[in-house]
C-alpha cells in the first residue's frame, strides 16, 4: 500500500526538530548542575530538597544521563519517529522530485 503522506518531509521535519531539541539540552544540563548544587545548601529543609530532586529527575527523564534513565525521552521519541518512516517511501519521494510523477514509456 503506498504511503500518502510525504515521508521525505517528515524526515526533514524530524531532523529540524532534533536540532532544535539538541539546542535545549545544554541549558537543561546546566540547570541540572545548579539544582544539584542547591542540594548542598546547609540545613536545606527536606521538603525543598525534594523539589530540587524532582526537578533533577525530570531533567534526567528528558535528556537522559541519570542513574535510572541513561537515554532520555527526547532521544527515544526521535528514534521512534525515524523508525516509523519507511525508507522506501523517502526514496520514492526523492525519485518523484527528481524525475517527476509521470511514468516513463521505456
DSSP string across the chain: ----S-HHHHHHHHHHHHHHHHHHHHHHHHHHHHHHHHTTSTT--HHHHHHHHHHHHHHHHHH--SSS-SS-HHHHHHHHHHHHS-HHHHHHHHHHHHH-SSPP--
Amino acid 106: pLDDT: 59
Higher pLDDT, 1 or 21: 21
Query: pTM of the prediction?
Result: 0.72
pLDDT confidence of 105, banded at 50, 70, 90? low
Has residue 104 been placed in a domain?
A: no
Number of domains in the chain: 1
Has residue 105 been placed in a domain?
A: no
Quote the domain boundaries for residue 40. 7-98
pLDDT confidence of 33, banded at 50, 70, 90? very high
Amino acid at each position: 500500500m503506498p504511503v500518502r503522506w510525504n515521508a521525505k518531509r517528515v524526515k526533514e521535519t524530524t531532523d529540524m526538530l532534533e536540532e532544535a531539541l539538541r539546542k535545549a539540552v545544554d541549558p537543561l544540563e546546566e540547570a541540572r548542575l545548579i539544582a544539584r548544587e542547591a542540594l548542598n545548601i546547609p540545613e536545606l529543609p527536606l521538603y525543598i530538597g525534594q523539589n530540587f530532586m524532582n526537578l533533577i529527575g525530570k531533567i534526567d527523564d528528558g535528556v537522559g544521563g541519570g542513574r535510572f534513565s541513561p537515554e532520555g525521552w527526547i532521544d527515544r521519541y526521535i528514534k521512534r519517529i525515524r523508525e516509523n518512516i519507511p525508507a522506501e517511501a523517502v526514496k520514492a519521494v526523492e525519485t518523484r522530485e527528481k524525475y517527476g510523477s509521470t511514468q516513463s514509456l521505456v
